[in-house]
Amino acid sequence: MLAVVSVISVIGVWFLLTSVFRVIPPAFLPPPQNIVTDFLRILGTPYVGHTLIGHTLVSLQIVLGGFFSAILIGIPLGVLMGWFKRIEAIVDPLFQLLRPIPPLAWIPLSLLWFGIGIQSKIFVIWLSAFVPCVINSYTGIRLTEPLLVKAALGLGVKNQRDLLREVAIPSALPIILGGVRIGLGAAWMTLVAAELLASDAGLGYMMQMARRALEPSVIILGMLVIGILGALMARGLRMLEKWVCPWVKEEEH
Amino acid sequence: MSRSAENFWDKVYREKTVLSLSSVLGFLALWHLATDILGLMPAIVLPSPEKVFFTIYEKILAPVGEEKLFGHIGVSLVRILVGVGIALGLAIPLGILMGWYEDLDSMASPIIEVLRPIPPIAWIPLAILWFGIGLGSKVFIIAIGVFFPTLINTYIGVKFVDPLLIKAAQTLGAKDKDILWEVVVPASVPLIVAGVRIGVGLGMMCLVAAELVAASTGLGYLIMLGGDDLKPELSITGMILIGILRLLADRVILRIERRVIYWKKE
Amino acid sequence: MNEEQRPDKLSARNVSVMYEKDDTSFLAVDDVSMTIQEGEFVVIVGPSGCGKTTFMNTFAGLVRPAKGKVYMDGEEITGPSAERGVVFQQFALFPWKTVSENIEFGLKYRGIPKEQRDEIVKKYVQLIKLEGFEKSYPHELSGGMKQRVAIARVYANRPQVLLMDEPFGALDAQTRTIMQEDLSGMFLTEKRTVLFITHSVDEAIYLGDRVVIMTARPGKIKKIIPITRENLIPDRRQMRYDDVVNLKEFLELKADIWGLIKAEILEKHIL
């Protein structure tokens, strides 16, 4: 009940300040009803090149492209690093050197190397999803309980490869999937940043253009779409986690 | 451990160190090879390692854009510190109060849940519209990045405190407000600090993003300038410095964690 | 003084309690009535899950009965209070406070000034024989030491009533014996009203003035057996635990009580 009251009052104050008392100019913060009308507008008619849906699809394609290639390489690499000390010794130092650099910081170099096209964006997005996948896969394998390994050995599992497959990987799955979830979030964020910087389509581009045109309602709409999509993807991954790892206990939040 | 076992682990450790060192050196050598000696990559695309070194040295003395190198570092630092400060100053108290007082929770939660999924970077265009290109927009973005993880972790820490501790306090005579500040908050400190750690990490990413998109000073600006001016050595300089800054921040927070959670030695 | 005129220290009248957690809820305590006089040491025993803790929690004010009422000194108990101190099985020490700070905790809310608090803490640290550990943190202490601090923390607060929920359950056998003797000694030095829950029949007979046997869930009172001059040497509290446990009277009582509990377990499990 209180929740409803507070939401209504926030919207109410917003409305009053923008529409009724005109204290806040529309170029700064649009009245709530404008958001709705603008939403309907850009849903149907193209805004700087695409409709809202068009921009969304462009963004989604790029994100998912980079994201999937990241998990395809990142997870196996992380697993191998976690299991084979030699591989860890070789890959780890390079990884640790490059890790503190935020993926976003690679954008200008990426643009320099790959131009303004899609490849530069995909590279950076790939990078941002790659790192959490590797780290979590590595951690997941390293945290395999020695007790379980001993049990498996005592039950006849012979070589390293089978141990990895039958014990280490399944037990590491929840953590690996957690890394995938983080990676998706990071990829999404990096995409938005990349689109803000150099793009000719996509949600980030749409928001930048709207800013130049002093249309904050389109900016806000972009933000909301990005937020909702991000939340949906996270929720989808959570459901995937539950399906793949039914043995994991439910956590609060 | 038996003698031979000790030797074995020593050997493994040594082998590991050797492998690690050689891979780093190999990487640097490859880099040097590809740029200076073989000229595989034009300097415009990838500069040699020495060029990066010289650039760093040079820029300490001569300005890039509006500031010298340390000026840029300083500007970025200020932005981070102010942003983190504001965010923590708001998020921690709010998280505590929301976790303890259900009414406040019901009132604030819907607003928070709507704003939270929006990545801080998505706020940049709006921030620029509102605050321009100055300090304000950067601090705003960084603050948003730090605010939400800290708020959530603080909230969870307070809300899900071990009820046994609360019962113990009640049966010793403590009343509601006392219990909150004397028992619940100290008990939540580990989670709060974890939230701060996540928040600050996110905040640094936001710093870079904000400085990439809309700044005329700062490390992110350096990175951006390198790309624009076709001087990748500038970009690499900026990236290395940001990496170092990040590592330092991690260390600092680890130190703080250790001092604040003194009662829990693992 | 006429016993009839003094109100009972603690009394429960037709108390029924529902236990609720997540999706399950069931009747834990079924229409229990009992009284406890001031200065008595009453022990509740019974099979696992019979509602002993839930019942005690009504006296602690941590749980409200679905039916019936609980009283202290004739007044209804509506919430927790420092006058009814609780010692939990899991110690519940504040991990960020030292031994001294833990023991000192309740004293602050009684408005006792600092110097006095320090004196009281010192006295109880000596009583539980933990001199030298005043500045230690709970994670540095063994189980037995932690429980001693938990007891001292409540004792120092001088509640009129002590509610102890299987306080020695998490300790190993040797530590347990020592703690029982300590508690016995403490009870002789500073007599309070105590309600004590345990699984162990030995412990019950050694410590209690009366042993209340509860049925399996939903808990009712099966029988109350007094430990008095007639059926046991009255000075048992001053004797070593090992000596008491082998007395003929002790073994007879134990057989009686244990027989009743066992019957309860067998009966209800067959169901």
**Is residue C265, in this structure, part of any structural domain at all?**
yes
**Is residue C186, in this structure, part of any structural domain at all?**
yes
> Is the Cβ of B264 closer than 8 Å to some Cβ of chain C?
yes
Helices (H), C33-172: 52-60, 99-109, 114-127, 143-156
Q: How far is B82 from chain A (nearest CA, A)?
A: 20
Pairing state of beta strands C210-214 and C221-226? antiparallel
CB burial of residue A235 (10 Å; 0-12, 13-18, 19+): exposed
Answer whether residue C199 shows pLDDT above 70.
Answer: yes
Share of chain C above pLDDT 90, in %: 30
Q: How many CB pairs under 8 A join A and B?
A: 165
**Is residue C123, in this structure, part of any structural domain at all?**
no
Q: Which residues, in sequence order, are bridge partners of residue C165?
A: C197
**Is residue A162, in this structure, part of any structural domain at all?**
yes
In this complex, the residue of B116, B122, B205 whose CB is nearest that of residue A102 is B205
Q: B171, C90: Cβ pair inside 8 Å?
A: no
If one compares A82 and C238, the residue with the highest pLDDT of the two is A82
Distances from the Cα of B151 to the Cαs of B108, B195, C95, in angstroms? 12, 7, 24
pLDDT band with cut points at 50, 70 and 90 for residue B266? very low
* Chain segment B121-146, per-residue pLDDT in tens: 999 999 998 998 888 999 999 999 99
B231 conformational bin, left if phi > 0, alpha if psi -120 to 50, beta if neither: beta
In this complex, the residue of B117, B122, B126 whose CB is nearest that of residue A216 is B126
Tell me the chain B residues in contact with residue C110 when contact means C-beta distances shorter than 8 Å.
173
In this complex, the residue of A6, A102, A204 whose CB is nearest that of residue B242 is A102
Domain interval for residue C258: 10-83+159-270
**Is residue A14, in this structure, part of any structural domain at all?**
no
Interface test with B, best of A1, A85, A109 (most B CBs within 10 A): A109
If one compares B76 and C265, the residue with the highest pLDDT of the two is B76
In this complex, the residue of B164, B173, B264 whose CB is nearest that of residue C109 is B173
Q: What is the mean pLDDT of residues C71-76?
A: 90
- Residue C271: the pLDDT is 43
Domain interval for residue A155: 32-244
Domain count of the fold of chain C: 1
Chains B and C touch (3+ CB pairs under 8 A): yes
Tell me the chain A residues in contact with residue B247 when contact means C-beta distances shorter than 8 Å.
100
SS3 content of chain C, % helix, strand, coil (to 5): 40, 25, 35
Distances from the Cα of B4 to the Cαs of A85, A164, B1, B12, in angstroms? 20, 27, 8, 12
- Residue C233: the pLDDT is 65
The domain spanning residue C79 has which CATH number? 3.40.50.300
pLDDT band with cut points at 50, 70 and 90 for residue B93? very high
If one compares B108 and B37, the residue with the highest pLDDT of the two is B108
The domain spanning residue A231 has which CATH number? 1.10.3720.10
Here the tokens at position C86 are 């609780």
Tell me the chain B residues in contact with residue A112 when contact means C-beta distances shorter than 8 Å.
44-45, 226-227, 230, 232, 235
pLDDT band with cut points at 50, 70 and 90 for residue B87? very high
Q: C82, B172: Cβ pair inside 8 Å?
A: yes
Q: B152, A223: Cβ pair inside 8 Å?
A: no
Q: How far is C154 from chain B (nearest CA, A)?
A: 7
**Is residue C144, in this structure, part of any structural domain at all?**
no
ipTM above 0.95, yes or no: no
**Is residue C60, in this structure, part of any structural domain at all?**
yes
Q: Which residues, in sequence order, are bridge partners of residue C13?
A: C69
DSSP string, C140-201: GS-HHHHHHHHHHHHHHT--SEEEEESTTTTS-HHHHHHHHHHHHHHHHHS--EEEEE-S-H
Average the pLDDT over each of A99-113, A152-166, B105-119, C221-235 and give the range with the smallest value.
C221-235
Tell me the chain B residues in contact with residue C105 when contact means C-beta distances shorter than 8 Å.
169, 172, 174
Q: Which residues, in sequence order, are bridge partners of residue C104?
A: none
Q: C94, B165: Cβ pair inside 8 Å?
A: yes
* Chain segment C107-156, per-residue pLDDT in tens: 988 888 999 999 999 999 988 889 999 999 999 999 889 999 999 999 89
Q: B264, C95: Cβ pair inside 8 Å?
A: yes
Query: How many whole angstroms separate alpha carbon C9 and alpha carbon B154?
Result: 42
> Is the Cβ of B169 closer than 8 Å to some Cβ of chain C?
yes
Answer whether residue B82 shows pLDDT above 90.
Answer: yes
**Is residue A4, in this structure, part of any structural domain at all?**
no
Here the tokens at position C201 are 């029949």
- Residue C49: the pLDDT is 75
Which distant-in-sequence residues (6+ apart) come within 8 Å of C101 by Cβ? Answer: C94
Which subunits have 3 or more CB–CB pairs within 8 Å of chain B? Answer: A, C
Chains A and C touch (3+ CB pairs under 8 A): no
Q: B172, C106: Cβ pair inside 8 Å?
A: yes
> Is the Cβ of B186 closer than 8 Å to some Cβ of chain C?
yes
- Residue C1: the pLDDT is 44
Average the pLDDT over each of C35-39, C86-90, C236-240 and give the range with the smallest value.
C236-240
Q: How far is A180 from chain B (nearest CA, A)?
A: 17
Q: Which residues, in sequence order, are bridge partners of residue C211?
A: C43, C225
**Is residue C93, in this structure, part of any structural domain at all?**
no
Q: C62, B187: Cβ pair inside 8 Å?
A: no
If one compares B63 and A133, the residue with the highest pLDDT of the two is A133
Interface test with C, best of B172, B178, B183 (most C CBs within 10 A): B172
Query: How many whole angstroms separate alpha carbon A126 and alpha carbon A33?
Result: 38
Q: C139, B264: Cβ pair inside 8 Å?
A: yes
Q: What is the mean pLDDT of residues B160-187?
A: 92
The torsion of the CA quartet B6, B8, B12, B13, rounded to 10 degrees, works out to 20
**Is residue C165, in this structure, part of any structural domain at all?**
yes
Please report how many Cα atoms fall inside a 13 Å half-sphere around the Cα of residue A164, on the Cβ side: 13
Average the pLDDT over each of B96-100, B172-176, B235-239, C47-51 and give the range with the smallest value.
C47-51
pLDDT band with cut points at 50, 70 and 90 for residue C70? very high
**Is residue C48, in this structure, part of any structural domain at all?**
yes
Answer whether residue B83 shows pLDDT above 90.
Answer: yes
> Is the Cβ of B168 closer than 8 Å to some Cβ of chain C?
yes
- Residue B13: the pLDDT is 66
Q: Compute mean pLDDT per 10 residues along chain A, 253 residues long, and list them.
A: 86 86 82 87 84 90 92 92 85 83 89 83 92 91 87 82 84 90 91 88 90 89 92 90 81 48
Q: How far is A201 from chain B (nearest CA, A)?
A: 15
Q: How far is B8 from chain A (nearest CA, A)?
A: 14
Phi, psi of B69 (to 5 degrees): -55, -50
Average the pLDDT over each of A233-237, B262-266, C160-164 and give the range with the smallest value.
B262-266
Q: C82, B183: Cβ pair inside 8 Å?
A: no
Which subunits have 3 or more CB–CB pairs within 8 Å of chain C? Answer: B
Q: How far is B183 from chain C (nearest CA, A)?
A: 8
Q: What is the mean pLDDT of residues B238-257?
A: 90
Q: B173, C82: Cβ pair inside 8 Å?
A: yes
- Residue B208: the pLDDT is 93
Q: C86, B265: Cβ pair inside 8 Å?
A: no
